[in-house]
Structure 1
Amino acid sequence: MDYLPIFAQLHDKPVLVVGGGDVALRKIKLLLAAGARVTVLARTIIPSIRALPDDQVICLQAEFGEHPVAGYKLIVAATDIPAVNRRVHAEGQLHNIWVNAVDDPDNGDFIMPAIVDRSPLVMAISSGGKAPVLARMWREKLEQLASQSTQDMAKLAAHNRSLVKSSLSNLQQRRDFWERFFAGPALSLLQSGKHEQAQQLLSHELAGFSVNQGEVYLVGAGPGDPELLTIKAMQYMQKADVIVHDGLVSEAVLELSRRDAERISVAKKAGLHSMQQNDINQLLVQLANEGKRVCRLKGGDPFIYGRGGEECQALKKAGVRYFVVPGITAAAGCAAYAGIPLTHRDYAQTLHLVTGHCQPNGERPDWLALARSRQTLVVYMGLITSEQLSQQLIRHGRSETTPVAVIENGTLATQRCITGNLQHLPDLIRSHDIKSPALIVIGEVVALASELSWFQQHEQHDTPQTTSHVA
């Protein structure tokens, strides 16, 4: 962040506005709405500023420098003269007073964001002066989302804040109460103008409030691109007290979770386990039994090689309530971003999803079934076993020239899609130094990648067998 958002309490605080034109008028009205006592300093002051009440605005017709600035809490430079803005900023620094220079951020200490005022709920958005039109567009969207009833809801909450605090001494309980109340029918009552009924509903729910039971949300975080998260995934990420996440969940996705939620990493990589699955199961049960709402955030989809089924079994056995939110699995997301349709009536009517990791002492793969032509095989976690995979498929009838693709960091800006043939699969991985997370796609549909690729920006031909598309 270039700027830290801060809401300033300016009620009855003195603020100096340097400038007497239309821009100054807009800033003065904003300051007055916040309860500030405003002094306007300018050689020329427009009539609409002079018409403001004398008990709210003092107008001084003078040049900057002819009036002392000491004692003001903030200074707003609302001029279009950079030299004056620089002088105002220098004087403010001399007296430890923060300065805002309108449309001139280099000569200021803070900026005034675009706001949506539904007091006591106020929303602010800013681009730091770098994209003001974009900030304005988002303000317009927020204006549409936040109706008048949003303000009524905020006023109702403010009116009852002390009552709720005295009734529920625990901070977590108060938050749970408000979340339930805001998600309930109160907003509909306020939209219908039924303010008394909304107050009665709040009193009734407060009297009958019971402590939340812990619960777990198994949420699919998708293949990497945070914009591929579902709406429900976002809702549960914002609701959770604790985020228990895998190593495949990107920082960009984690940043969309609730800011004050505790984060616990249970990252697992091939051959390296920071926490065994049974320990993860026990952790989820333990956190839920503590009354916490737990978001178990998994890369891709929790029920496709995410061991979500095992975790649900453990939660079910322990009597813990749980919810499952599907995610876009890596096979679908990465292949789509590489321009590879997993099925195509001219190339493949069957799709197999398999893992390169097997349960110890588990059954061997059905190589004959996997080696059939005119089908697509997608291998999760197959980098380490790629040599065995290539050999077994060829041995059981798959052609050596079957197209293959290895997709690294699928759906992210760092995505690489390396294509070649089945015989050279291990060499592709070694020569291009492919690292996890990576997905292997085997089948005739891979040949369409060069035609349908849309996410990569250019192509590079390394060998007759290998095409590398580097984003």
Structure 2
Amino acid sequence: MSDNPKLFPVFMNLAGKKVLVVGAGEVAARKIRLLLGTDAEIHIGAIHFSETVLALTQTTFTLHHGPYQTEWLNDAWLVIAATQDRELNERIAREAEQQRIPVNVVDTRELCAFQVPAMVERGDLRVAISSGGHAPVIARRIRERIETLLDPSLGTLMAMTERYRPAIRRARPSLPQRRQFYNWLLDGPVSHELRSGNLAQAEFMLLSALKQAEESAQGLVTLVGAGPGDPGLLTLNAQRALNEADVILHDRLVGADVLALARRDAQCISVGKKAGENQNATQDRIHTLMKHYAEQGLHVVRLKGGDPFIFGRGGEELQFLREHGIAYRVVPGLTAALAGAAYAGIPLTHRDHAQSVRLLTAHRRPGHDIENWPALTQPGQTLVFYMGVKQIAALQTQLLHHGQSPDTAVAFIENATMKTQRVIHARVANMAEQAGEYNLQSPALIVVGDVVALGKDLAWFKSVMNQDTNAPYASPSTPEHPLHAPLHRTASLQPEHTSAKLN
């Protein structure tokens, strides 16, 4: 048996069941308070009873005066040993285990079959926090933080939803519809009125919503930017959408760590485009799936790498949804250019080097090549090319042809923000040669401009690849920041789960 087994969280119904507490001091009193309101048949055994325990006892309590007796365990469902005698506690734990009765020995983790967590209560809503018995003080501190997050009105909301539960089930017969309704109750005007103390108004709003069941049960599509790869860069609204989604249609490059933030029973469908396949056919399939699931009254999250509106065809998807009368909303994401440059230590603008930045895609429709190259090669700006790995030689030719200095700094940022991030520094004069020599792979950003040279000194993010002394990367001269480095070294995405919206 493991010395540190993973605990199984459970809430028990103790109504009418015998629970034995051995000990009647202040520690025992804390455990007895937790049992109050459970309708358990509480037995307390001790030689001496503290005034605190006596004040808690009711006529329904059974008190056993005197030294512990094995017979006290008879018919018990739970046992709590709260004496100050270590040997006695060990005996109680041993005898309870022999009778297969779960036992908790206060402050002695190794003797416990179950542990009593720190709890936050809002009416029937209970949040339990466990440290596995290792650090109960930390568990209590976490409880204090959660206490500030959960408004006391949640208890009233729980009671109201229980009262109208049959009506909610009638008005919202399917599980996804009910989930949407409960999300609305928690995040919408009903909760706001309860927090303001307006119980009657809150109840009126709930009843009005139930009468509009058909309209409120319509599906919804949320276009969500997943960011460039590091799950820590998702916005709070993006995380909330993932937790509310019934169906998630995600790009191929959205990583496993990002998808792990979704609700466990959400249906995840990969709809990513691959090189060489019919892109329009794939996009048509995405449109069809969004429409199909939304018309079933489901909440669909269209999860796109980076930002949906930066070379992600998000605008086309919204046009489709609007044409078909499907409700939608947008949660922006951090685009790869901003995050990738930041993780490479490259400021895209700088008072001395670049007063503007241009985001361009090298992957375009036939006949829609990059125009106005002379404007792109003007000094004082930074160029960031998406989806350009296969066009590096052509980009180099155009830059040089239209007057870009051969000595202009270039950076290739591969797998931006990921554990496998790699930064290759070059110049316009040798950018194609460097990309080939170091076998640059998609997804990768191409950053061109004088600011790129600053990355050699300002780089701070040390990925696994960049810690290799042979990697084509100028390591920072200063030590790795103690607050940042461990955080990003623990990223768990695999190389194939990169997430910049690049090809």
Which residue, out of 347, 358, 367, partners 1:352?
Answer: 358
Q: Which amino acid aligns with 1:115?
A: M
- The CA distance in 2 between the partners of 1:371 and 1:428, in whole Å, is 21
**Secondary structure, counterpart of 1:411 in structure 2:** coil
Q: By how many angstroms is 1:70 displaced?
A: 4.9
Q: Which amino acid aligns with 1:76?
A: I
Contact 2:185–2:191 under 8 Å retained in 1: no
After superposition, the C-alpha distances for 1:64-107 in whole angstroms (9 at most, x for unaligned) are 67445353222334457766665555444433333334444343
Alignment partner, residue 220 of structure 1:
225
- Structure 1: runs of 5+ lacking an equivalent: none
After superposition, the C-alpha distances for 1:112-151 in whole angstroms (9 at most, x for unaligned) are 2221111112222333344544433332232223233221
- The CA distance in 1 between the partners of 2:268 and 2:434, in whole Å, is 36
- The CA distance in 1 between the partners of 2:157 and 2:278, in whole Å, is 47
| 2:208 is aligned with 1:204 | yes
**Secondary structure, counterpart of 1:223 in structure 2:** coil
Residues 72-83 of structure 1 aligned to structure 2 (within 5 Å): 72-78=76-82
Q: Which moved more, 1:240-249 or 1:169-178?
A: 169-178
Alignment partner, residue 308 of structure 1:
314
- The CA distance in 2 between the partners of 1:273 and 1:77, in whole Å, is 68
Q: Which amino acid aligns with 2:314?
A: G
Give the 3 Å change call, closer, same or farther, for CA 468–279 of structure 1 in structure 2.
farther
Contact 1:17–1:76 under 8 Å retained in 2: yes
| 2:413 is aligned with 1:376 | no
**Secondary structure, counterpart of 2:73 in structure 1:** coil
| 2:249 is aligned with 1:278 | no
TM-score by length of 2: 0.81
Q: Which moved more, 1:80-89 or 1:447-456?
A: 80-89
After superposition, the C-alpha distances for 1:429-465 in whole angstroms (9 at most, x for unaligned) are 5665655443232221122223333333897695797
Q: By how many angstroms is 1:361 displaced?
A: 4.6
- The CA distance in 1 between the partners of 2:287 and 2:169, in whole Å, is 35
Q: Which amino acid aligns with 2:158?
A: A
**Secondary structure, counterpart of 1:467 in structure 2:** coil
Which residue, out of 317, 329, 344, partners 2:335?
Answer: 329
- The CA distance in 1 between the partners of 2:272 and 2:95, in whole Å, is 53
Alignment partner, residue 146 of structure 1:
150
- The CA distance in 2 between the partners of 1:309 and 1:386, in whole Å, is 27
Which residue, out of 132, 151, 156, partners 1:128?
Answer: 132
Q: By how many angstroms is 1:33 displaced?
A: 3.4
Contact 2:16–2:40 under 8 Å retained in 1: yes
Alignment partner, residue 230 of structure 1:
235
Q: Which amino acid aligns with 1:363?
A: D
Alignment partner, residue 293 of structure 1:
299
Q: By how many angstroms is 1:330 displaced?
A: 0.8
Alignment partner, residue 347 of structure 2:
341
Q: By how many angstroms is 1:342 displaced?
A: 0.4
Residues 427-466 of structure 1 aligned to structure 2 (within 5 Å): 428-429=434-435, 435-456=441-462, 466=473
Q: Which moved more, 1:254-263 or 1:433-442?
A: 433-442
Alignment partner, residue 474 of structure 2:
467
Q: Which amino acid aligns with 1:232?
A: N
Alignment partner, residue 98 of structure 1:
102
Q: By how many angstroms is 1:282 displaced?
A: 1.7
Q: Which has the higher contact order (CA 8 A, sep 6+)?
A: 2
Q: Which amino acid aligns with 1:179?
A: N
- The CA distance in 2 between the partners of 1:450 and 1:80, in whole Å, is 62
Alignment partner, residue 265 of structure 1:
270
Which residue, out of 32, 36, 40, partners 1:32?
Answer: 36
Give the 3 Å change call, closer, same or farther, for CA 442–70 of structure 1 in structure 2.
farther
| 2:190 is aligned with 1:186 | yes
Alignment partner, residue 15 of structure 1:
19
Which residue, out of 375, 398, 408, partners 1:402?
Answer: 408
Contact 1:50–1:59 under 8 Å retained in 2: no
Q: By how many angstroms is 1:250 displaced?
A: 2.6
Alignment partner, residue 247 of structure 2:
242
- Structure 2: runs of 5+ lacking an equivalent: 477-484, 490-503
Q: By how many angstroms is 1:395 displaced?
A: 4.7
- The CA distance in 2 between the partners of 1:109 and 1:410, in whole Å, is 46
Contact 1:460–1:467 under 8 Å retained in 2: no
Q: Which amino acid aligns with 1:456?
A: K
Q: By how many angstroms is 1:346 displaced?
A: 0.9
- The CA distance in 1 between the partners of 2:249 and 2:263, in whole Å, is 13
Q: What is the number of residues matched between the two proteins?
A: 471
Alignment partner, residue 114 of structure 1:
118
**Secondary structure, counterpart of 1:323 in structure 2:** strand
Q: By how many angstroms is 1:385 displaced?
A: 3.4
After superposition, the C-alpha distances for 1:264-310 in whole angstroms (9 at most, x for unaligned) are 12133444689711211221122222222211111111010111122
Alignment partner, residue 9 of structure 2:
5
Give the 3 Å change call, closer, same or farther, for CA 330–66 of structure 1 in structure 2.
same
- The CA distance in 2 between the partners of 1:432 and 1:60, in whole Å, is 78
TM-score by length of 1: 0.86
Q: Which amino acid aligns with 1:210?
A: E
Give the 3 Å change call, closer, same or farther, for CA 452–206 of structure 1 in structure 2.
same
Q: Which moved more, 1:10-19 or 1:176-185?
A: 176-185
Q: Which moved more, 1:426-435 or 1:180-189?
A: 426-435
Contact 2:177–2:298 under 8 Å retained in 1: no
After superposition, the C-alpha distances for 1:356-407 in whole angstroms (9 at most, x for unaligned) are 4232454256554444444212122333433443454345443443322233
Contact 1:101–1:108 under 8 Å retained in 2: yes
Contact 1:420–1:465 under 8 Å retained in 2: no
- The CA distance in 1 between the partners of 2:428 and 2:135, in whole Å, is 48
Give the 3 Å change call, closer, same or farther, for CA 464–332 of structure 1 in structure 2.
closer
When the two chains are superposed, the root-mean-square deviation of aligned CA atoms in Å is 3.4
Q: Which moved more, 1:153-162 or 1:40-49?
A: 40-49
Q: Which amino acid aligns with 1:303?
A: F
Give the 3 Å change call, closer, same or farther, for CA 347–166 of structure 1 in structure 2.
closer
- The CA distance in 2 between the partners of 1:98 and 1:177, in whole Å, is 39
Contact 1:416–1:468 under 8 Å retained in 2: no
